[in-house]
């Protein structure tokens, strides 16, 4: 069950009073939260607390976007929009394709995997002088 407007407001006001030793008369629902002394750190903590209360993942910027207690409570009690189901691609699924290529440029004139393997198994020295 979702929390009521009153419960959400009570949590917000309770946190503000605890953090900043505010009297209830100092906390007006339409007063900007920044004027009440709310810091960025405490705004994130309040958002986390409200997320736990509502069971929702809330953006860290929620408190600043709302600005006041009234606006914050409105946003948290507003019905969530319906999420559209995943759109499916109507095209048939093709089997996976892998493109594999191989190029050989090894020392000692070995220009294929077989030639390189022969070079190794025969123990030939492929080290030469560096061209100038």
Helix residue ranges, H only, the chain: 5-20, 40-54, 62-66, 69-77, 113-121
Tally the domains of the chain: 1
State the CATH number of the domain containing residue 18. 1.10.1200.10
Residues 6+ away with beta carbon under 8 Å from 102:
113
Range of the domain at 35: 5-77
**What's the average model confidence in pLDDT over 30-43?**
95
- As a whole number of Å, the end-to-end CA separation of the chain is 80
44 within a domain of the structure (yes/no) = yes
Under the banding of pLDDT at 50, 70 and 90, the label for residue 100 is: confident
Whether 47 shows a pLDDT value over 80: the answer reads: yes
Under the banding of pLDDT at 50, 70 and 90, the label for residue 55 is: very high
């Amino acid at each position: 069950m979702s929390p009521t407007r009153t419960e959400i407001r009570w949590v917000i006001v309770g946190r503000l009073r605890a953090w900043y030793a505010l009297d209830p008369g100092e906390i007006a629902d339409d007063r900007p939260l920044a004027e009440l002394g709310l810091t960025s750190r405490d705004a994130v903590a309040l958002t986390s607390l409200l997320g736990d209360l509502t069971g929702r993942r809330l953006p860290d910027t929620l408190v600043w976007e709302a600005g006041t207690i009234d606006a914050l409570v409105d946003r948290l009690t507003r019905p969530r929009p319906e999420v559209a189901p995943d759109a499916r691609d109507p095209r048939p699924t093709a089997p996976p394709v892998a493109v594999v290529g191989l190029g050989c440029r090894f020392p000692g004139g070995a220009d294929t995997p077989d030639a390189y393997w022969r070079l190794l198994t025969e123990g030939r020295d492929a080290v030469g002088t560096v061209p100038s």
